[in-house]
Structure 1
Amino acid sequence: MFIDSHCHIDFPELAERADELMANMAANQVSHALCVSVNLPEWPRVVAMAERYAHVYASVGVHPDYEDEVEPSVAQLVALAQHPKVIAIGETGLDYYRLQGDLEWQRERFRVHIRAAREAGKPLIIHTRSAAEDTLRIMAEEKASEASGVMHCFTESQAVAEAAIAQNFYISFSGIVTFKKAEELKEVARTIPLERMLIETDSPYLAPMPFRGKQNQPAYVKHVAEHIADLRGISVAEVAAATTANFKRLFKLEGVLA
């Protein structure tokens, strides 16, 4: 069985097809999915998706790309994280690719999420783009290792992966790893410890080959696993077993998920 460790099936274009997506997951041996929050005004629909389907979980957080938001407090995030289906804080992090100028607000928001994760005792979902140095620095300064977490939709270098793993984080690969030109990322997927790996879709974005350019969905996460198995010269079953066990361990679901 596979687990999609990061998707946005609450987004309207997917939510309107929710029952179909769940059927497709079952048909492709995808047992569970984590529906990830990007802002607080729309968080109720994230948790509603998790309440509707027993095999869907939720997170709470504000994405670094959402500039014009009321900033969440540590107390607010910790309180929302008490919902029984919320298993993570995020997604949070830094993104210097889409936004320019003084981004100190983004760094402060990231710190708030790390503090909330430590207080709530729940792992972090970290987004980083064109900001790896600052991301790793703030993680270290705020002791993110105490919360643990995942570097989601990883697209950085081997050195960044190793630095994140050294801070007690997991590395999650999306459909990008299946793209022909992603050679550096493929090498990371070949070489990082299997016990530190997760797989995801980031649906509705980044559909893996052979669906590139189409709307993504959790069922397609098996294609990420298949590609990683080919890269590492191991069976798909081995990738599935390891990433499923890693998901359960990271999100404290051992003994909860079958």
Structure 2
Amino acid sequence: MIDSHVHLDADQYPDPSGAIKRARDAGVSAMVAPGVGPASNLAVIELARKFRGVILPALGFHPERFEHSEDDSREVLGLIERDSICAIGEVGLPWYGERANDAAVLDAAKVTLARFAHAAAALDLPLILHAPHARAAEALAIIREAGVRRAVFHWHKSDEQTTRAIFNAGYFISLTPEVAYRARDQDLARMLPANRILVETDGPWPYGGQFAGRLTEPAMIKEVVAAIAHLRCTTFEEIAAATTANARALFRIRE
């Protein structure tokens, strides 16, 4: 299994090495670690060097880290062009909070996303997208216009029409531990084609349901896969194989 989105750097986890070991013991062979800005990206690069082949680095510029500047965006683009990475991300469009609804902020975010999308197309890298709810349709239009060939809408939350447009365009959608207890995510798990699904924890983000009170770790991917298998009336092995193959195709991970 592959955790396609987990923030594993030391600022997020007290013991990244321990979390990685527990994940490997649970059958998670690789973890994609997306950065969210300049400092985070450097931490991701160092973690990937330490756990080569297990931690796969992605360099990003999170759209809701409003403390980051235009200069920071250019710095991230420079890192992307120099470093060996599996994806550009986490990038996207803001949704949460008052600033995300400010027209000028959103317009600037769209320009920034387009810049990263064009870089992804030019470098033939996938995008890891933060585009919740109505932002998904806007992000989809931007990346399609830029010619992005590979992308995943991480922790997807949007309407059925947009969801179908995403997977019909050949992009992926990832499911989190919420699929074990939230009706919206369960409906999504039933609807998605098997060849468009990824699984992620987005750790250390905390969850409810059976995960309440637990530190979110990549080892939880086993429970995400089990929940999807139950919802789709199939086997754990089938979902584990499909989501792993999908992640390998998206991020071009060698076996």
1:134 aligns with 2:138: yes
Structure 2 residue runs without a partner (length 5+): none
SS of 1:64's equivalent in the other structure is coil
Task: Give the counterpart letter for 1:18 in structure 2.
Answer: P
The residue that corresponds to 2:26 in the other structure is 28
The residue that corresponds to 1:234 in the other structure is 234
Seq. identity, %: 28
Task: Give the counterpart letter for 1:39 in structure 2.
Answer: G
The residue that corresponds to 1:172 in the other structure is 174
The residue that corresponds to 1:212 in the other structure is 212
Q: Distance between the aligned counterparts of 1:78 and 1:161, measured in 2?
A: 32
8 A contact 1:201–1:216 mirrored in 2: yes
8 A contact 1:6–1:34 mirrored in 2: yes
Deviations 1:101-158 (A, max 9, x none): 12211111111110110111110001112423322222232233x3x11011112233
Q: Distance between the aligned counterparts of 1:83 and 1:209, measured in 2?
A: 39
8 A contact 1:153–1:172 mirrored in 2: yes
Task: Give the counterpart letter for 1:139 in structure 2.
Answer: I
Q: Distance between the aligned counterparts of 1:135 and 1:32, measured in 2?
A: 27
The residue that corresponds to 2:57 in the other structure is 58
8 A contact 1:177–1:224 mirrored in 2: yes
The residue that corresponds to 1:89 in the other structure is 88
Deviations 1:47-78 (A, max 9, x none): 111111121111011011012323324x9526
Q: Distance between the aligned counterparts of 1:44 and 1:233, measured in 2?
A: 42
The residue that corresponds to 1:45 in the other structure is 43
The residue that corresponds to 1:115 in the other structure is 118
The structure with the greater share of residues assigned to helix is: 2
Return closer, same or farther for 1:156/1:11 CA change in 2, 3 Å cut-off: farther
Q: Distance between the aligned counterparts of 2:38 and 2:240, measured in 1?
A: 32
Q: Normalized against structure 2, the TM-score is what?
A: 0.90
The structure with the greater share of residues assigned to strand is: 1
My pick for the range that moved more, 153-162 or 31-40, is 153-162
1:106 aligns with 2:109: yes
8 A contact 1:225–1:239 mirrored in 2: yes
Task: Give the counterpart letter for 1:112 in structure 2.
Answer: R
Q: Distance between the aligned counterparts of 1:83 and 1:77, measured in 2?
A: 10
Q: Distance between the aligned counterparts of 2:144 and 2:96, measured in 1?
A: 22
8 A contact 1:208–1:223 mirrored in 2: no
May I ask how many residue pairs the two structures share in their alignment?
Answer: 247
Q: Normalized against structure 1, the TM-score is what?
A: 0.89
2:161 pairs, out of 159, 162, 167, with 159
Structure 1 residue runs without a partner (length 5+): none
8 A contact 1:93–1:128 mirrored in 2: yes
Q: Distance between the aligned counterparts of 1:18 and 1:203, measured in 2?
A: 11
SS of 2:131's equivalent in the other structure is strand
SS of 1:69's equivalent in the other structure is coil
Q: Distance between the aligned counterparts of 1:52 and 1:139, measured in 2?
A: 32
Q: Distance between the aligned counterparts of 2:38 and 2:78, measured in 1?
A: 13
Task: Give the counterpart letter for 2:202 in structure 1.
Answer: D
Q: For residue 27 of structure 1, report the CA deviation from its aligned partner.
A: 1.9
1:2-17 correspondence runs (5 A): 2-14=1-13, 16-17=14-15
Q: Distance between the aligned counterparts of 2:228 and 2:213, measured in 1?
A: 20
